Amino acid sequence: CQQRLEVPASHCFAELSTQDATAAASATANKGLHMQKVGSGLVRAALAELVALPCLFTLRPWPDAGREAPRIKWTKVRTASGQRQDLPILVAKDNVVRVAKGWQGRVSLPAYPRHRANATLLLGPLRASDSGLYRCQVVRGIEDEQDLVPLEVTGVVFHYRAAQDRYALTFAEAQEACRLSSATIAAPRHLQAAFEDGFDNCDAGWLSDRTVRYPITQSRPGCYGDRSSLPGVRSYGRRDPRELYDVYCFARELGGEVFYVGPARRLTLAGARAQCRRQGAALASVGQLHLAWHEGLDQCDPGWLADGSVRYPIQTPRRRCGGPTPGVRTVYRFANQEPLILAEKQESQATRSPAPGGFVLASRPPPGG
């Protein structure tokens, strides 16, 4: 929340005299450095894409500045959650650009130095953690101008396993599974961006180029793949489309709201669907739940999804909520995770429920959508 500046009642404001106002206007007009506030609006881009964060300014000849070139500095000042940061990204002066460690290979000033008044930052491939607030600062002599640019990175990568078994999807079936999950099959660049933000999963899955890969941040037996003990995205290479694996999907934008409905009682899949219809909604897909989790949804109560699976989103890990890391949890029928709780099996046993808390996940379009 923003702090409010309280003005004591004993203080008052006086109008500027005509002379003072004229002097102030003259000083502004005579400034040699002026920032063009083109970056005032939110910039949105999808995971693994390139994005341009605008920073434009004008330079007038100014006696005190001589031939001094402006100094350009980009900094990330806030995370997506609003937490304050002060992460230097790059500094440019005298045709030399110095990029901070951690940003090397991911940022550039494409117009600099040919167009010195254009300090637009090119960033990418984007990671989810790139969301936040960025500051462009330009200094020449004693003059200092800056602008703030908010960035939102959309989209999430998730692993999908067929309900009946692990490694049960052909390439065509993998594409269809992602489509039914409100997503598309992920591209290698999506999986790489997710890995760079810490995504770790020891399950081989199809990608859009018909390769089979999986991301490992913590190497362990059984997950070495083609990279031995090194972290990285493992690859089986390009495979026969009839072979069977899991799949990695990419969901771009939610396009609605995910929420919980239903009375505090156990529900079958049919009962869950009926509850959603009474709310003017439909059961959420796996992709919609992952997007809602990405946007902050946290609920330690499993619920039905449209594919008949049972899952729940956790932002803050805690006891009896599925492990020490954030993520979307899946409820399995057996401890070895094979297979998922199936809608067909539960429908034949209506007295048993996979949703202990009685909550159901649903999605509905935004108002007017």
Domain extent at residue 42: 30-154
With b for 16 or more beta-carbon neighbours within 10 A and e for fewer, the 58-84 pattern comes to ebeeeeebeeeebebbbbbebebeeee
The secondary structure of residue 23, as a DSSP letter, is H
**Residues 289 and 349 reside in one and the same domain:** yes
Q: Which of 290, 271, 299 is nearest to 363 (CA)?
A: 290
Looking at the structure, tell me whether residues 339 and 261 fall in a common domain.
yes
Mean pLDDT of 167-188: 98
User: For residue 39, is pLDDT > 90?
Assistant: no
Same domain, 217 and 279: no
**What tokens were used for 83?**
């937490």
Residue 21 lies in a domain: no
Segment 117-137 mean pLDDT: 96
Is residue 5 assigned to a domain?
A: no
Domain boundary, last residue among 154, 180, 204: 154
The CA distance from 119 to 55, in Å, is 5
**Alpha carbons 149 and 107: distance in angstroms, whole number:** 15
Please report whether residue 83 resides in a domain: yes
Please indicate, yes or no, whether residues 146 and 65 belong to a single structural domain of this protein.
yes
pLDDT of residue 337: 56
Q: What pLDDT shows up at residue 369?
A: 55
We report the CATH number of the domain holding residue 126 as 2.60.40.10
Q: Provide the number of structural domains found in the chain.
A: 3
* 314 in the same domain as 271: yes
pLDDT band at 262 (very low <50, low <70, confident <90, very high): low
Rg (CA), the chain: 26
**Sorting pLDDT into bands at 50, 70 and 90, what band is 215?**
very high
Query: What per-residue string of b and e applies to 19-36 under the rule 16 or more CB within 10 Å gives b?
Result: eeeeeeeeeeeeebbbbe
Mean predicted lDDT score pLDDT of the chain: 82
Residue 22 belongs to a domain: no
Tokens of 139: 């200094």
Tell me how far apart the terminal alpha carbons of the chain are, to the nearest angstrom.
30
pLDDT value for 366: 64
Task: Clarify whether residues 264 and 221 are in a common domain.
Answer: no
Query: Which string of b and e fits 263-288 if b means at least 16 CB within 10 Å?
Result: eeebbbbebbbebbeeeebbbbbbbb
Please say whether the dihedral angle defined by the alpha carbons of residues 311, 312, 317 and 320, taken in this order, is positive or negative.
Answer: negative
pLDDT band for 194, please (50, 70, 90 cuts): very high
Separation of alpha carbons 333 and 321, rounded Å: 16
Q: Are residues 195 and 226 in the same domain?
A: yes
Residues 75 and 133 in one domain: yes
Question: Which pLDDT score, from 0 to 100, does residue 32 have?
Answer: 59
Query: 125 and 45 in one domain?
Result: yes
Banded model confidence at residue 22, pLDDT cuts 50, 70, 90: very low
Q: Is residue 138 within 8 Å of 35, Cβ to Cβ?
A: yes
Using the predicted structure, report yes or no on whether residue 13 has a pLDDT greater than 60: no
Within the chain, residue ranges assigned H as helices are 18-29, 171-180, 188-196, 269-278, 286-294, 343-347
What digits encode the pLDDT tens for the residues 286-321? 999 999 999 999 988 888 899 988 899 999 999 888
Q: What angle do CA 81, 86, 90 make, to 5 degrees?
A: 120
Phi-psi region of 156 (alpha: psi -120 to 50; beta: other; left: phi over 0): beta
Q: Which of 63, 242, 40, 87 is nearest to 143 (CA)?
A: 63
- Given a cut of 80, whether residue 234 has pLDDT beyond it is yes
Bridge-partner residues for 147, per DSSP?
136
Residue 94 falls inside a structural domain: yes
Half-sphere exposure of 217 (CA within 13 A, CB side): 11
Answer yes or no: are the C-beta atoms of 246 and 167 closer than 8 Å: yes
Residue where one domain finishes, among candidates 154, 187, 206? 154
Cα–Cα distance list, 102 to 87, 90, 99, 105, 108 (Å): 10, 11, 9, 9, 13
Contact 28, 100 (CB under 8 A): no
Tell me whether residue 18 is in a domain.
Answer: no
> Is pLDDT larger for residue 337 or for residue 7?
337
Residue 333 falls inside a structural domain: yes
Confidence of residue 211 (pLDDT cuts 50, 70, 90): very high
53 and 147 in a single domain? The answer is yes
Task: Quote the pLDDT of residue 14.
Answer: 30
Per-residue model confidence as pLDDT tens digits over 49-80: 999 999 998 877 655 555 678 899 999 999 98
**What pLDDT is stored for residue 59 in this prediction?**
75
3-state SS, residue 63: helix
DSSP symbol at 166: S
Average pLDDT of span 137-158: 93
Q: Are residues 297 and 352 in the same domain?
A: yes
The answer to whether residue 16 is domain-embedded is no
Residues 149 and 51 in one domain: yes
State the CATH number of the domain containing residue 266.
Answer: 3.10.100.10
Residue partners of 183: CB distance under 8 A and separation at least 6: 158, 249, 250, 251, 252, 285, 286, 287
